[in-house]
Structure 1
Amino acid sequence: MFKRVLWVSVGVALGVVAVSKANAYVKANTPDKARQFLLGPDQENVGARTLQGLVSQFKQAQQERERELNNQYINKLN
């Protein structure tokens, strides 16, 4: 179990480093217009906006699935 936690944490850490390096490379080597097209006008908060979008999509899917299951069980009772 400890090995799995270790390797998952190593993978997450490497992912964070790779994304930050790629983000720095894009910021340093692309023209401003292309960077605005790719990252949007608020280039400093791309990670926060992405995480917020993922959380909202997850919550929406969770609510839809809950409604679906509730309707399924209500129909079984009737």
Structure 2
Amino acid sequence: MFKRIVWIGVGVVIGVIAVSKAQSYVKANTPDKARQFLLGPDQEQVASKTLGGLIAEFNAARQIREEELNRRYIDRAG
């Protein structure tokens, strides 16, 4: 179990490094118009907006699944 946690952590770290390097490359080597198309007009907040969107999407999916399970168990108990 500990090995899995370590490897998942290593994967996350490598992913974060790869994304930050890719964003740095895009910022350094693309014209402003292309950069705005790829990263949006607010280029400094891309990571926080992406993380916020992922959290909102996860919470929406979690709520749908929770409601589905609640209906299933209420129907079974009733």
**1:23-54 CA-partner distances (Å, limit 9, x unpaired):** 00000111111111111111001111111000
Cα-Cα RMSD: 1.6
Structure 1 residue 8, shift from structure 2 partner: 2.8
Length, aligned pairs only: 78
2:14 is matched with 14
Structure 1 residue 57, shift from structure 2 partner: 0.5
Structure 1 residue 2, shift from structure 2 partner: 4.2
Runs of 4+ in 1 over 6 A off after TM superposition: none
Identity percentage of aligned residues: 64
- Unmatched tracts of structure 2, length 5 or more: none
State the TM-score, normalizing by the size of structure 2.
0.84
Q: How does 1:1-78 map to 2 (within 5 A)?
A: 1-78=1-78
| Separation (CA, whole Å) in 2 of partners of 1:72 and 1:60 | 19
State the TM-score, normalizing by the size of structure 1.
0.84
